Structure 1
Amino acid sequence: MDRIKYFCYYDFQDSKKPREGIQAASSKIDYIIDAINRCGVKVDIISKSPISSKGFNLDFGGVKNMGNNTIRHFFSCGCKDSPMRVLSRWIQNIHFFFWLLFNVKKNEEIIVYHSLGYCGLLSCIVKVKFCTVIGEIEEFYQDVHKYATSVCLLESRFIQSCNKYIFPAALMDSKFNSQKKKSVVVHGVYKPVNITEPKFSDGRIHVVYGGTFDSQKGGALAAAGIGKFLSKEYVVHICGFGNEADKAKVLQVIDEVNKTSESHTVFEGQLNGEEYAKFIQKCHIGLSTQNPSGAFNDTSFPSKILVYMANGLDVVTINIPVVKTSAVGDYLHFYDEQTSESIAEAVKNVKIGNLRFSEILKAIDAKFVNDIRELL
């Protein structure tokens, strides 16, 4: 095999006509593509992402080179707040379908990032072309959101119809791969990054939470409250994103904690990209504090764990099977109850600097490249 098509939504950020997408998903897609390239196979990204601009912006799609790889987009009209958006999606679906019909070869092997936005169209083409589908199943969407019964059936049927799988966790493999088809597990980006920032040198232990402020998930609120149970040796940093109501709740908890505790908690706001990486590199401990009661915890792996490790931080995380049984489970620090006090106790038990994260991730990365080579 010389090339393989990879169907996904990819947030290609061209300065004139940026496309929609989720940065975390695109980062993992980039990593999987890099691993495939290291197996000697080039990748053609087939992205159905629409234009993200709110104002009118028209693009007929086309192919762009990305080194030895390529990326293809389809017709899209940037008009987020206009009824034209519906027409744009309709035209894009037609463009996408006919491209599939004439460009996907018979008996071809393809990778499909599981999405409700195109799995129906792809399923039709796959049946006609007798394709081998490697399904990248990052999460079971009906565990996270409520959908109509017909949509749920479509999702389940697509997953079961895949010939091979890429899963984010071994638990998903056991849940969806009852026929023991070929599969690999990749939790996220295993490559360590170039660490450029020294740790804070004020003699205190700096703990960071980076992620959503969504009060339904509860991670930010639980993290913001740990300072109440920590001594003056600790500084807690809260950074992330969310709506104004959720942000206000986080700020309120921080204000209450700082009035009564010896430790200090700092609200850092939203940090992105390189700015975020440089900041967390200065810290010692990263918090992954998602609510363990959500059904999605059985079918998704918290990507922030690997981001922390890649940037040289010890990680404190909730003790759930999908994390405990992961490839990095032996190198994490766990707490058992979703309370600020329980998280704080785990933080206090961390012995800073005992692990060499770059070596750990390099070994897991090498294994994944071998695994993906066998899958292909």
Structure 2
Amino acid sequence: MSTAVISPTQTSPTSPRPFEWNDLDRRAVDTARALAVDAVGAAGHGHPAAAMSRTPAAHPLFRRLLRHDPGDPGWSNCDCSVLSCAHLVVLWDDDRISLGDDPRSAASEDVSAPFRAHGRHVRQVDWSATGRYEEDMAGLYEALSAAREETGRPSLVAPRTLIGRPWRAASPERAAVFRTHDSTGRGEDGPTHQPVEHLWALRGVPGLDVVRPADAAETAVAWRTVLERTDRPAGLCLSRRDLPVLDRSGAAGVESAEGTARGGYVLAEADGGAPQVVLIATGSEVHTALDARAVLQREGIAARVVSMPCPEWFREQSTAYREEVLPSGVRARVSVEAGSALGWYQLLGDPGIPVGLDRFGASTPYTSLHRRHGFTAERVAATARAALARAAHREAM
């Protein structure tokens, strides 16, 4: 929720024009929303959801209600839009932010009640009153116009908008939810946008498939697989970083992304085909695991990289396939995921060691953040050596 404020002129307002809303207005709103997404993408951090939610209110405000002259920004009789309080007309985005479940469960606060109690002029526009989300532009324009005409007391205009998309896993229905900010790699946005605990919390939801692909190729196969599985919902956890697409031509020794459909697969085999250690990774950390494999190979340590985009799908595979990917005879294993390591122990076994993050992140570019938290090829390689030593010690006991 946020506040935008209109500061009217000292002169009496003119009567508002009759409401008009046509295809050009809709295209202007959609274009402004797209620009908000592009701006966030160009900056490399931030979030476009608020701007996308509030654009429908900003468009009629600037186009038809505020008096201003773009050619004369110093015009003394112009209206102003400022991001501060203590002015006459306050436009409050009474949004219902929902990252899951029914949006009505997101918040129950009645923001308008204190304003009414103080005798303020309050107009509410509920864009979800019909049971589905519909942007009532005529209703919003009427409320803004009425607030502009009210000169005897401050006004609050509160359109009820929606950010988010509900989903359910309790019912055997097909649904797909896309989630971004999949790790601490979104460093500039700070700990609030770094879901350290969320991946394994979602994986713990019964009946929900959680998929975290490593690149565009895995994402395409994952999406196709989600569409083919009609009996349960799925969540795709995607990175907002510009991840490179892995070279799967064969020369790089990286296997096809088709293994994504099985939840986990051998992405890069150890030199000689007999691994001494297995590196299990998801998402953007798959690239780190591949770099660690190269470090280990140069040291003469045969390392296999397993991409594990969806542990739920992998558990459904036959015992023979799971043994083929994670041989029980290779006890030295390392998991690599920029989040909680809570659930990786079931795949690591006793000698295995996770490279994870069991504390909240920080606000800094992801490159320095990953170095600070140990998500580097050198750290993963060092952990692999420790797992090999631990496995050897267990066998000697």
TM range (shorter): under 0.3
Rg larger in structure: 2
Q: Name the TM-score, length of structure 1 as normaliser.
A: 0.26
Decide which structure has greater strand share.
1
Q: Name the TM-score, length of structure 2 as normaliser.
A: 0.25
